[in-house]
A and B are shown apart, each in its own frame.
Chain A
């Protein structure tokens, strides 16, 4: 039962106030994209054991989406941050590296 801080309204939200939205920072592929690109967009997910970037919505709360950087193994939350970005902010990467020096961000 996680708690995540909603960066939009500042609430330390119980998981039961949230709904999960899967992997973050997917690039949308639309008409004109190759089969491989579209397959990757629709179906391929990183599913790492370790640092993961996720989408969450404060559904029973302010209703806004946000992103979380979280370890899927220890459940440590490195940061929650705005959903209005297509890349991981540098501050978030720095926050992860501070805790996991060996980790590197693959894009």
Chain B
């Protein structure tokens, strides 16, 4: 059982006590503890269950690479699943729950899977649950989902806030070990703008744990001196708890800063996502120790040798009274020495190499520790915790040579540089046969916008092993970064180190090397995804020769692990099974983020009220105050209708339509797009943009026009007013202004740049208010001002400028309702006041504000098309019977050539008609018009569809428009439309203008 040592632990403050709960049990630790170290201090070695077999699992690592100890942290709005206990700092009130088991961590029904691992080999799900097909959805998937998977998704709204921060630096240094510190120091001295980030709460990385001395002083002193120097530099910013999570194109990198995870009482944003643009990036991300593949290497108590060393030195943890070391290199001997120094027993160091003659093995022997060379572990004893190891000859098949009782096993299979950040943006790797790892190939670095490398590795991330090599490499990296940025570094020697002589490691991919199938089934490669040596061999046997295919088939190195622990061992196993060399098998792709980052950090400020920009007209507050039901129109919010107390939406829409048709309605049309087009070539330009002729429009007049894209399809429509000889005001649809303006600028800048035309989008300069109905003129006359709004002075499709009441107004006699209508543009700052004044003056005529639904109904009653209803990106004006708005005289306009294509001139294109149900009901929106017979898929043939459909309060019946085969030639025909309930409804093909065909109401 693990426990806290009486002394030691360089990161903990034993004077403090922090209380937390683990699966409901109250436990305590100290400031500086991670959840993993605090659990170990409390004797809790069992920290989770595995993904597939639900095997009991303990902590294996001490940092971000931890695959097993994933927990649900926090509660309610602060619950977060899959958090690594090794990177979670404890605080008072922390709650942690283990995952992946039922009903409890100690007793898990799912562990029965582990009794029969033969039944769940690689690809098991693919092979087993294929037939019968309907079973997948209703039987297999729900059961599998219940028993598999990592943590549960949070149910409550996230209680915290998050933000982004854009930083532009010369140099980003990822990793705050001695390599990162050294590189940042050198770059800082050269005057570069440097951002140095470290994922943990502590600087210095492994060096203090490994007993490194720099310049004759303990590493810790050098680290503190360096930090002090960096903090004194204005051009350097250093951050702990900040992980460089990804490197992207052109020097872009993300840094995930965890501000309050360790201290929720601090307030402020929980996470900050730094969006960094760096000239150069140094990845000083260190190395990760590899596990060894021996039977039972996943039993709680088996840890990486370096991690076990960390727990002793950093957190004062005893992993158990007796720890057996198993290794293929000299570094693991440090763990033995550290344990020995802490007064704990090391019954044996099991070294797979034939001999161990380096300084560290010598020191171990001198300390009286038994060193067994040429030896391996045949099997680990124990179920929920280690009880001992069975030894064997590494060269053999696993016959027991000895058995040693112990509570912990420290394993080391050598070290792999952390190449993730290097690889994210295309950095290539090279196989280092001597050290049996992939390391960055400096000759094939990621390249930036200038085609030059922008990522440099430093220290152990480059493959350096000794502290001396690490510091020298970091110095070189800083120099290379400065060179690339056109700066120079003063030449200083790196401080000397006390590195012992280490003998080379020996590759050991399986222990013992002749282990048979029974043992291979208990050798875990990927703890998180429950992938064993036997699974990879099976994949190879079944023909998965590509490492990328094997990865997907076995799930090796997938998900949050991203191959941190499993990668090299998995590749080596695959290579072995394929009889290939490891570099020939290659490696899988490392993808960002390095470890998972929160969804909140990705969203940043984009949540709740600021999830997306909502556009508000100058009259928006009125609508909200009235309790209008709002609907989105692009990013605008527009009133759909203004229900009075007790009214349904249908009732209020009905009331609004009738009030407008019979007396006076008021519409906030401010969202209407308004674009000023000015210049000697403005008319010529608009002639190209619109299907009809705009250049012949007279100043003072308005004209409706259609805009198509080069494909010939309708993209926008609206009324153009000619303000003067040189100037047009183009009205677009609501939400269409930005797109249409961009379209204009595209053609003016990129095709007709010699045409003299300027455009400005002035949509928001004006509140546009439509005064609509038989009493519209009376209202405006009552409001006063200096304008003559009589039919003679301002006829239909004319515009005028002046004052209405005290307001600056531009008045357009246009109508989208068929009523007498004035659309009045008022400067936005005066818009609300005008609206209020109109409401007040309109009391006489029971003035009624109306929303978009009433607007839509009235336009449909008049047979006016709506972009987005009658059009959907496949409809041309000819389909809508709008030939009158297509100029025959113009040689060219946007879309003209496209509309001459055979498919566009095909007489069988569906054409616009009006539709009246024979029973007066309202057709379902989008319903298809049914034709005889069925198609190849046994679906009913169709001959048209509904594009707009409403109940018309004016006519007291359902009206609709639709596109129907040969529709205009079939007036009076009865056709059938399908309904949602599977039935059909009959409708008569009629003229699309349902109301006031002669326009008598608007031309008054």
Instruction: Please give the residue numbers on chain A whose beta carbons come within 8 Å of chain B beta carbons, in ascending order.
Output: 1-4, 14, 21, 28-33, 35, 38, 41-42, 55, 57, 59, 63-65, 71, 74-77, 83-84, 99
B745 pairs with A38, CB closer than 8 A = no
Q: Does any Cβ of A come within 8 Å of B650's Cβ?
A: no
Most buried by A among B252, B447, B749, B901: B749
* B939 CB → nearest A CB, Å: 29
A57 touching B746 by the CB < 8 A rule? yes
Q: Which are the 3 A-B pairs with shortest beta-carbon distances? A: A76-B451, A1-B252, A84-B753
Query: What's the least CB distance linking B901 to chain A, in Å?
Result: 7
User: In the complex, which residues of chain A have a beta carbon less than 8 angstroms from the beta carbon of B746?
Assistant: 21, 57, 65
Q: A63 near B250 (CB under 8 angstroms)?
A: no
Pick the residue among A32, A38, A65, A75 that contacts B250 (CB under 8 A).
A75
B711 interface hit (Cβ, 8 Å): yes
A59 touching B449, Cβ below 8 Å? no
A51 vs B568: C-alpha distance when bound (angstroms): 36
Shortest Cβ gap from B250 to chain A (Å):
5
Residues of B contacting A29 in the complex (Cβ-Cβ under 8 angstroms): 897
Residues of B close to A76: CB separation below 8 A: 447-451
Alpha-carbon distance A32/B448, docked complex (angstroms): 45
Which residues on the A side are within 8 Å of B447 (C-beta)?
74-76
Question: Within 8 Å CB of A59, what residues of B?
Answer: 742
Contact of A35 (CB < 8 Å), options: B250, B449, B901: B901
Distance of A83 Cα from B745 Cα, bound (Å): 12
Q: Mark B740-764, 1 if CB is under 8 A from A, else 0.
A: 0010011001110100000000000
A65 and B745 contacting across the interface, CB-CB below 8 Å: yes
Contact A77–B450 (Cβ < 8 Å) = yes
Q: Is the CB of B449 within 8 A of A75?
A: yes
Contact check, A83 vs B749: say whether CB atoms are below 8 A apart.
Answer: yes
Q: Please, which residue of chain A has its CB at the minimum distance from the CB of B709?
A: A42
Give the residue name and chain of the A residue nearest to B749 (CB).
A65
- A2 near B711: Cβ-Cβ < 8 Å: no
Given A3-B250, A38-B898, A63 contacting B891 (CB threshold 8 A) = no
29 contacts between A and B (CB under 8 A): A1-B250, A2-B250, A2-B449, A3-B449, A4-B449, A21-B750, A28-B751, A31-B891, A31-B897, A33-B897, A35-B901, A38-B898, A41-B710, A42-B710, A42-B711, A55-B750, A59-B742, A64-B749, A65-B745, A65-B746, A71-B451, A74-B447, A74-B451, A75-B249, A75-B449, A76-B451, A77-B450, A83-B750, A99-B451
* Assembled-state Cα–Cα distance A49/B606 (Å): 36
Contacts of A99 on B, CB cut-off 8 Å? Answer: 451
Question: Which residues in B have their C-beta under 8 angstroms from that of A4?
Answer: 449
A76 and B426 CA atoms in complex are apart in Å by: 13
Tell me whether B193 is interfacial, beta carbon within 8 Å: no
B670-691 CB mask vs A (1 if < 8 Å, else 0) is: 0000000000000000000000
Note all chain B residues with C-beta closer than 8 A to A84.
749-750, 753
**Which chain B positions have C-beta within 8 A of A33?**
897
User: How many angstroms between the C-alpha atoms of A101 and B901 in the bound complex?
Assistant: 43
Q: Does B277 contact A (CB under 8 A)?
A: yes
Task: With a 10 A CB-CB cut-off, give which of B250, B751, B896, B901 has the most chain A CB atoms.
Answer: B250
| Chain A residue with Cβ nearest B891 | A31
Contact, CB under 8 Å: B892 / A31: yes
B750 engages A38 (CB within 8 Å): no
Residue of B nearest to A1 (CB): B252
State the interface size on chain B (CB cutoff 8 A): 27
Q: Which chain B residues lie closer than 8 Å to A63 at the CB level?
A: 745
Quick one: closest B residue to A82, CB to CB?
B753
B140 at the interface (CB under 8 A from A): no
- In the bound complex, residues from chain A placing their C-beta under 8 Å from that of B553 are none
Q: Does B900 contact A (CB under 8 A)?
A: yes
Cβ < 8 Å to A, chain B residues 238-260: 248-252
Residue pair B898, A42 in contact (C-beta under 8 Å): yes
In the assembled complex, the Cα of A56 lies from the Cα of B897 at a distance in Å of: 26
Residues of A within 8 A of B248 (CB): 1
CB-nearest residue of chain A to B253: A1
Q: Shortest beta-carbon distance, B249 to chain A, in Å?
A: 5
Chain A residues, Cβ within 8 Å of B449: 2-4, 75-77
> What are the residues of chain B within 8 A of A31 when measuring CB–CB?
891-892, 896-897, 900
**Beta-carbon contacts of B759-777 to A below 8 Å, as 1s and 0s?**
0000000000000000000
Distance of B628 from chain A, by nearest CB (Å): 32
Query: What's the least CB distance linking A77 to chain B, in Å?
Result: 5
CB of A82 to closest CB in B, whole Å: 9
Complex alpha-carbon distance, A30 and B450, angstroms: 38
Question: What is the bound-complex CA distance between A31 and B251, given in angstroms?
Answer: 46
> Which A residues are in CB contact (< 8 Å) with B448?
76
Question: How many angstroms between the C-alpha atoms of A28 and B752 in the bound complex?
Answer: 11
Residues of A within 8 Å of B749, CB to CB, are: 64-65, 83-84
Q: B242 to chain A: closest CB distance in Å? A: 19
Question: Which residues on the A side are within 8 Å of B751 (C-beta)?
Answer: 28
Task: Give B747 Cβ to nearest chain A Cβ, in Å.
Answer: 9
**Contact between chains at A57 and B742 (CB < 8 Å):** yes
Q: How far is the CA of A65 from the CA of B251 in the complex (A)?
A: 24
Please name all residues of chain B whose beta carbon is closer than 8 Å to the beta carbon of A28 when the two chains form the complex. 710, 751
B603 to chain A, nearest CB (A): 15
* B277: chain A residues within 8 A (beta carbon): 3, 14
Closest to A35 in B: B901
Query: How far in angstroms is the closest Cβ of chain B from A56?
Result: 11
Residues of A within 8 A of B249 (CB): 1-2, 75
Tell me, in angstroms, the Cα distance from A76 to B746 when the chains sit together: 25
Cβ contacts B212-255/A at 8 Å (1 or 0 each): 00000000000000000000000000000000000011111000
Kindly state the separation between the CA atoms of A6 and B829 in the bound complex, as whole angstroms: 35
Complex CA distance for A14 and B276, rounded to whole angstroms:
11
Give the complex CA separation of A65 and B744 in angstroms. Answer: 12
Interface 1/0s, chain B 427-451, versus A by CB < 8 A?
0000000000000000000011111
| Residues of chain B lying within 8 A (CB to CB) of residue A83 | 749-750, 753
> Chain B 699-724, CB within 8 Å of chain A: the 1/0 string?
00000000000110000000000000
Query: Once bound together, how far apart are the Cα atoms of A71 and B900, in whole Å?
Result: 37
**Contacts A75-B249, A76-B448 given; 11 further ones with Cβ under 8 A?**
A3-B250, A14-B277, A33-B897, A38-B897, A38-B898, A42-B711, A42-B898, A64-B749, A83-B750, A84-B750, A84-B753
Complex CA–CA separation, A76 to B896 (angstroms) = 39
In the complex, what's the smallest C-beta–C-beta distance from A10 to chain B, in angstroms?
Answer: 15
Q: How far is the CB of A64 from chain B (nearest CB, A)?
A: 6
Complex Cα distance, B450 from A77, in Å, reads 6
A32-B449 Cα distance, complex, nearest whole Å = 42
Whole-angstrom distance between the Cβ of B711 and the nearest chain A Cβ: 7
CB nearest to A83 among chain B residues: B750
A35: which B residues are within 8 A, CB to CB?
901
Interface members, chain B 137-175 (any A CB < 8 Å): none
> Which residues of chain B come closer than 8 Å to A38, judged between CB atoms?
897-898, 901
For the complex, give the distance between the alpha carbons of A92 and B813 in Å. 53
> Taking the nearest CB of chain B, how far is it from the CB of A81, in angstroms?
13
B454 to chain A, nearest CB (A): 11
- Chain A: which residue is nearest B688 at the CB level? A30
For residue B714, give the distance in angstroms from its CB to the closest CB of chain A: 17
* Nearest CB in chain A to that of B451: its residue: A76
Measured between beta carbons, the chain A residues less than 8 angstroms from B710 are 28, 41-42
